[in-house]
Amino acid sequence: MSRPVANWVYAGVIMLLIQVVLGGITRLSGSGLSITEWDVVTGTLPPLNTVQWQDAFDKYRQTPQFRLINSDFTLADFKFIFFWEWFHRLWARLVAVVFLVGLVWFLRKKMLPSSMIRPLIILFLIGALQGAVGWIMVHSGLVGDAIYVAPVKLAFHFVFAMGLVVYAFWFALSLSVEPGARLTNSSGSAMRACTWLIVGLLFFQLLYGALMAGHKAAAVAPTWPTINGSWIPEGLFRLHPLKQDLVYNTITVQFIHRLLAYCLFLLVLIWTALAMRIRKAPASFRRLRWLPLLVVFVQIALGISTVLTSPGIIARRWVAFDWLALIHQMTGLLFLVTMVGMLYLVVPSKNNTSVTV
């Protein structure tokens, strides 16, 4: 076990989670297309004088988003949306610096055994890929008559972010969790299978949550428990071929997002019942086994509230919907981290050797 290295990676995980939340604020505030270039080095600093601000604003005024929906923007309006996109990018750079500086420091102190080098290199590569996917996403909103980024590319950007968080978190767990803190009795296999199923469904749930955000699909059916008064809504699976419908039909996207939420809730109920039946479990597992049910319950309640408040969306104003949507996303991140942690704590056999990445 290497506690200092684990704390460093955990700090990176927290920074990554903040980065995803900043991405949510950037999206909800309509700020994502305010910076039209990708300058890895010089883009660290915002415009520093009136001339630079006007130059950045002029570049934004050439975008379809400005021409079609924000043509009344003043320089002050532009500065507001610029800040969130710039801060989102700056935080990503800070995450990279924290990981890079930490890597150099621990290497100099000879605190990184060779077994840790490969996972850290993979972590850096995933982070670099995530940055590239982010620019591809932004560029999709700067061409043609696009006024927002492409929903599919937004979803891929979000999924890559989730993969980065999960990989870093799993690595940190492997460095910090004592073998005796993991559930290794005969119930481990059934619990692990159930946990894998939940994590698998959660991946698609988060993917469809990103598609909901990209399509701004909450407002197409702002009702609950039915979808516009029907359990099987009109317009479901109307696009052909089916793969187009599953991605671009907003009613289908919302229907699947809701259905996956109900399935996850039922699975977590089963998971919790199995967990509570285990008598001889490590203290760490006993303390946390109620957490998935609490988080998924809050997540569903927030999702319902977000949909119901979507008719109150006001362009360029932060209203109840935006707060609920952001907290809904944050709780989804917490649910993912919780279940990944449970996946690590529950092992399928009595072999209690720490599992690394």
Check residue 185 and give its pLDDT: 63
Check residue 202 and give its pLDDT: 95
Check residue 293 and give its pLDDT: 96
Look at the pTM and tell me if it is higher than 0.85.
yes
CA distance 211 to 323: 18
Which pLDDT tens digit goes with each residue over 138-164? Answer: 988 888 887 889 999 999 999 889 999
State yes or no: pLDDT of 86 exceeds 90. yes
Report, as an integer, the average pLDDT of 177-190.
75
Check residue 335 and give its pLDDT: 96
State yes or no: pLDDT of 193 exceeds 80. yes
Check residue 42 and give its pLDDT: 59
Q: pLDDT band at residue 357, thresholds of 50, 70 and 90?
A: very low
CA distances from 3 to 106, 177, 319 (A): 12, 10, 42
Report, as an integer, the average pLDDT of 265-294.
90
State yes or no: pLDDT of 353 exceeds 50. no
Check residue 197 and give its pLDDT: 96
Q: What is residue 231's DSSP assignment?
A: S
Range 298-301 contact pairs with CB under 8 angstroms and sequence separation of 24 or more: 298/331, 299/261, 299/328, 299/331, 299/332, 299/335, 300/261, 300/265
Q: pLDDT band at residue 166, thresholds of 50, 70 and 90?
A: very high
CA distance 44 to 46: 7
Check residue 260 and give its pLDDT: 97
State yes or no: pLDDT of 351 exceeds 70. no
Check residue 349 and give its pLDDT: 57
Nearest to 198 by CA among 259, 263, 277: 263
Which pLDDT tens digit goes with each residue over 13-70? Answer: 999 999 999 999 999 999 999 998 887 765 788 999 999 999 999 999 999 999 999 9
Q: How far is CA 271 from the centre of its chain?
A: 23
